[in-house]
Structure 1
Amino acid sequence: MKNKFARFLLGTAIAIALTLLLNSTVGSLYTILKWSVYGITATIVIVVLMENRSPQTTLSWLFVLFSYPTLGIILYLLFGRNSRKRKHVQTYINIAKQAIRDAETKKAASPIHTDPTGTQTSEQPELVPYSQAVADRIRLIGGDSCAGGSSANLLTNGDETFDAIRGAIAEAVHHIHVQYYIYRSDRLGTELRDLLIEKAQQGIQVRFMYDGLGSHALRDKFLAPMREAGIKVAAFDPIFAYSLTQSANYRNHRKIVVVDGQVAFTGGLNVGDEYMGQSKMGFWRDSHLRIEGYAVHDLHRIFLQDWIYAVSRTYKETWKQFMYNEDYFPHPVAVSTESKGGIQIVPGGPNYKEAKMRDVFLSLMASAKESIWITTPYFVPDQETLTFLQLAASSGIDVRILYPGKSDSLLSDQASQSYFAVLLAHGVQIYRYKENFTHAKMMLIDGKIASVGTANMDIRSFHLNYEVTAILYDMPVIDDILYSFYKDFKCSTPINPREFVHRKVSKRIVESLTRLLSPLL
């Protein structure tokens, strides 16, 4: 829908409200406000209908606007205006396009490198035909090329993950780049901050980025010692009054740490004591990756795209000062061509016209011949994903979804369960994790191809958040992921389809109501 027409409709509503305000026949301020709300609500309803969104999203907005008009207006201004999306992310789109062009040019110029020991490292992976076909298809959808000369280690839960991250940071000699959706100023957050300060005081370049909404609780008192030590600090789309209605809906959900351009980390864990099992949630199950080799370059490029966008009004750093500097993109020396397989780094976000992360996941699932195993803390699929899972299970593929036994979001949990009945009826196996909450975001296809990243199996991760996932082909770490799934299934209880169908009517009503809101979660 054109912005001019939207402004015209909104202006009309305001004019009606002002007319009512000046009309002496209106008996009370309450009546004036009531009719103003009705007028604005009617305008928004027309806008939503004319934008031709998906039926599911349209119905969700209509439900909120008609049931709670005042709340609906506020939510729409913050999260609903499609016309803001392309305008808001255009700067990011331009940065990403330049980054991709430069990266592809650099890859083509030097596909093989010999390190000082005489070992050759190659960016071209050796994949079996099955994996190569999947990687090529995902590249065409919009993912990076699959990177060879790389290795990955699965890190399970907070202890393993943060021990590995602290170890890499302690060994840094040139730069440390850190990005999180949620970074808390609690014990773990303070400990990691102080380590970054220590490294900055040693002359190491440190860049620290956090999401403006996810880490809104970070205060200057916590960040000031970092800046004083020379650390460059940036918020991705900070929540200011003037930008709230433009950026609140498009959050950066990525978790990336890159050290010296040689080792990187990504996956499900943010920084907070809850990820160490030290909160009211209790035990916290999660998964992360430690990556070395050429795949680090692709993950590093995504961090730098976010960074350059975030600091566009402050540090004025440019893409080229990083891309053509071997201190930031050094030739990998730790991983040789003897390492088979490859890693494909895939970003997703509102800068893409389509739901790229969703399409990548569907492409992975479409390659399955035997099994599709998924673990996700939030399961709010769009219609395309829901239909595909039903068809896959009906065709005899072993489809399993590992879901938390206890959720940290009551609304999301109720909405998620509204999808279970139809999936169970088609043969999908759904497991509830007995030990508590699982926050891991993983997928395993036929026990041969795996995905570990930041994206949940929900509409927000598919359409609205900046996300990243690492797809692993023909690598030893896939066996570790397979074993991890087996362990988690043993610690879980499969939902009995017959018992689930006969759950209380009141619970089914709540699930159905929250499902109407699922596109807004």
Structure 2
Amino acid sequence: MWPGDDAFRLFTEGDELYAAMHAAINGAKREIALESYIFADDEVGRALADVLAERARAGIDVRVHLDAAGSLFWASRKLDRFLRDNDVTLRWYHRWHWSQPLRYNQRNHRKLLVVDQRQAFLGGFNIHRENSRRYYGERRWRDTHVAMAGNQAKQAQAAFEALWQRCHWQAAPETDSPSAVVLPNKTADCAHRLRCIFAAMFASAQHHIEVTTPYFVPDGWTQRALGQAAERGVSVRLLVPRKSDVAPIRWIARRIYARLQCRGVRVFGYHARLLHAKTVTVDGDWASVGTANLDYRSLFVNHELNLCARNRKLASTLTKQFETDLASAVEFSTTWPRQRMTARMLAPLAWAARRWL
């Protein structure tokens, strides 16, 4: 059943999400807009490419916006040619060019599908077999996506159009103060909108905050907001990978975790699978699901997109999933063993390069 204007459907399994996306694409009447950081030339990617191509051949306007850096080792020229040969309008975001090397650092990290401005899917799931139990088995990535309709689908389409046209996103007047909004991190009036939203959510918390993120290297403002919440009695719990897959982040994160733990924040390391979900809940009332990690790259550099909603049902579902994930996590001790000399020496360098990690 598709969600209504004020309802959302949460996905935590890739196979279920991809099936729902295929169904939405097959039902398209006018247009399909897709963004993905990774679009792999594998079983999952080729299956989605097939349904996109079929709709494009049927006369539907199909546009696909992929990140050149994210898909560098996943996509292929064959996949590119297949989409273009079947009338799909394909665009690569910031392909490498020697004359503009620095722009390659800014990436389109968004994962979004909008169909007919009526149905939208947004979250952390990329398009690759690593998210599929069918193809990757029990070690599939742990991720979260949300489906939405109504005003939020229209907002998602507007966000897609803004980046496609290389212009700044701006909220329509009727969506200035909604109970749910789809927000890019870069808007016409703020270059780091999501950082401001997260800080406001943490500052308003009265009872509890639950954060799930695979990469946790936030700026000082965000760290202070979490620490201050814990110090005023809010239960603040952070779920991160037990061992990050990016070494420099491991060197930095330990110091950040220890600093926050001293202020009362509890940190848990998820170890069952590779953690890739990006969610926030506050007081069982506010919720956020999307593509943004709590790190410098997502908050300040990349293009990201999150659903931010004041919706108790969505927040409750996310909280239940958080508790389920905690069963496969261990709480980090407040007394950390001494790091190896190499890690201690490299941590300051990694922090200095945090915008590039």
Match of 1:494 among 302, 320, 331: 331
User: Which residue matches 1:506?
Assistant: 341
Partner SS state of residue 22, structure 2: helix
If the length of structure 1 is used for normalisation, what is the TM-score?
0.62
Task: Describe how 1:282-297 pairs up with structure 2 within 5 A.
Answer: 282-297=139-154
Equivalent position of 1:159 in the other structure:
15
Q: 1-side partners of 2:50 and 2:15: how far apart?
A: 18
Distance of 2:191 and 2:234 partners within structure 1: 27
2:136 is the alignment partner of 1:301: no
User: Does the CA-based 8 Å contact 2:287-2:314 persist in structure 1?
Assistant: no
What's the CA shift for 1:450?
0.4
Supply the distance in 2 between the matched residues of 1:172 and 1:371 (Cα, whole angstroms).
41
Letter paired with 1:364: M
Equivalent-residue separation in structure 1 for 2:266 and 2:40 (angstroms): 35
- Residues 336-381 of structure 1: CA deviation (Å, up to 9, x unaligned): xxxxx83211111387654322111101111100111100000001
Per-residue deviation, residues 3-22 of structure 1 (Å, max 9, x unmatched): xxxxxxxxxxxxxxxxxxxx
Alignment partner for residue 233 of structure 1, among 77, 87, 90? 90
Change (3 A) 1:443 1:489: same
Query: Contact between 1:281 and 1:408, CA under 8 Å: does it hold in 2?
Result: no
Q: Determine which of 139, 146, 168 is the counterpart of 2:24.
A: 168
Q: Provide the residue aligned with 2:175 in structure 1.
A: none
The residue aligned with 2:40 is: 184
**Structure-2 residue corresponding to 1:377:** 214
Q: Which amino acid aligns with 1:518?
A: R
Count of aligned residue pairs for this structure pair: 343
What is the correspondence of 1:312-331 to structure 2 with a 5 Å cutoff? none
Deviation sequence 1:34-64 (CA, Å, 0-9, x none): xxxxxxxxxxxxxxxxxxxxxxxxxxxxxxx
Q: Is the 8 A contact 1:261 1:297 kept in 2?
A: yes
Q: Following TM superposition, by how much is the alpha carbon of 1:466 offset from its aligned partner in structure 2, in angstroms?
A: 0.9
2:64 aligns to what? 208
Show CA shifts across 1:78-101 (max 9, x none): xxxxxxxxxxxxxxxxxxxxxxxx
Residue 226 of structure 1 aligns to a residue whose secondary structure is helix
The alpha-carbon deviation at position 391 of structure 1 amounts to 1.5
State TM-score, norm by structure 2.
0.89
Residue number in structure 1 paired with 2:261 = 424
AA aligned opposite 1:214: G
Q: Is the 8 A contact 1:208 1:233 kept in 2?
A: yes
> Which of 239, 261, 269 matches 1:402?
239
- Note the residue ranges of structure 2 that are not aligned, 5 or more in a row: 173-177
Matched residues in 2 for 1:391 and 1:451: separation?
A: 20
- Please tell me the residue identity of whatever aligns with 1:446: D
What corresponds to 1:198 in structure 2? Answer: 54
Matched, 1:478 2:315: yes
Q: Which residue of 2 aligns with 1:338?
A: none
| Separation of aligned partners in 2, 1:251 and 1:185 | 20
Which residue identity does 1:431 align to in structure 2? F
Q: CA deviation at 1:475?
A: 4.5
CA distance in 1, matches of 2:266, 2:305: 26
Given that residues 349 and 464 in structure 1 are in contact (C-alpha distance below 8 angstroms), is that contact kept between their aligned partners in structure 2? Answer: no
> What CA distance in whole angstroms lies between the structure 2 residues aligned with 1:350 and 1:515?
26
CA distance in 2, matches of 1:405, 1:189: 29
Q: CA deviation at 1:178?
A: 0.7
**Alignment match of 1:219 (pick from 65, 68, 76):** 76
Amino acid in structure 1 at the alignment position of 2:245: D
Contact 1:405 1:434 in 2 (8 A): yes
- C-alpha deviation, 1:464, in angstroms: 0.7
Q: Secondary structure at the match of 1:432?
A: strand
The Cα shift of 1:184 comes to 1.4
Change (3 A) 1:442 1:308: same
Query: How far did 1:267 drift?
Result: 0.5
Residue 423 to residue 248, structure 1, CA distance change in 2 (3 Å) = same
Give % identity: 31
Deviation of the 1:419 alpha carbon: 0.9
Shift of 1:265: 0.5
